[in-house]
Amino acid sequence: MTERAKPSPDAIKAWARLMRVSRQLMERAEDALKEGGLPPLAWYDVLHELAEAGEGGLRPFQLIERTLFAQYNISRLLGRLEADGLVEKLPVADDGRGQTIRITARGRETRRRMWAVYGRSIAELVGAKLSPDELSTVSALLGRLRHPPAAD
């Protein structure tokens, strides 16, 4: 390992805190959804991306890119969402094996109910603990860690 590639103590501390806090916040949001009798957060992520895509839906590879799920995970998850009537799979006209995934009305309603709990969790776990300036700073700093940089 080169001297340049060796992490500083501050980098190690920042990494450890980022990982711990991220896991804790996600667990708390998951717990809130579970207490509300709602599906897990992964379902929300997929339903959100499909709702944002509109009536045209998304191809599975696009969902993988947008959610960062592995292909085998997205296939299983889509199967569960379809079985619950939250998404529908439609054939692609010019691709005999291809499918487009589209959110259903029931999926939109489930997403809405999930957001009521998930949004409240974000407000309580992050928004209520940091000032608007601190939120802006955290967002900007985390944005600098993204690769490739994205406009969030």
Q: Tens digits of per-residue pLDDT, 15-67? A: 999 999 999 999 999 999 999 999 999 999 999 999 999 999 999 999 999 98
User: What dihedral do alpha carbons 39, 41, 45, 51 form, nearest 10°?
Assistant: 40
Give per-residue pLDDT as tens, 74-84: 989 999 999 99
Q: What is the mean pLDDT of the chain?
A: 92
Which residues neighbour 85 within 8 Å (Cβ) at sequence distance 6 or greater? 104, 106, 107
The pLDDT of residue 71 is 84
Q: Provide mean pLDDT across the span 96-113.
A: 93
The pLDDT of residue 92 is 81
Q: Residue 109 pLDDT > 90, yes or no?
A: yes
The pLDDT of residue 72 is 86
The pLDDT of residue 91 is 87
The pLDDT of residue 97 is 75
Q: Provide mean pLDDT across the span 121-147.
A: 94
The pLDDT of residue 5 is 84
Output 88 or 70, whichever has higher pLDDT: 88
Q: Residue 1 pLDDT > 80, yes or no?
A: no
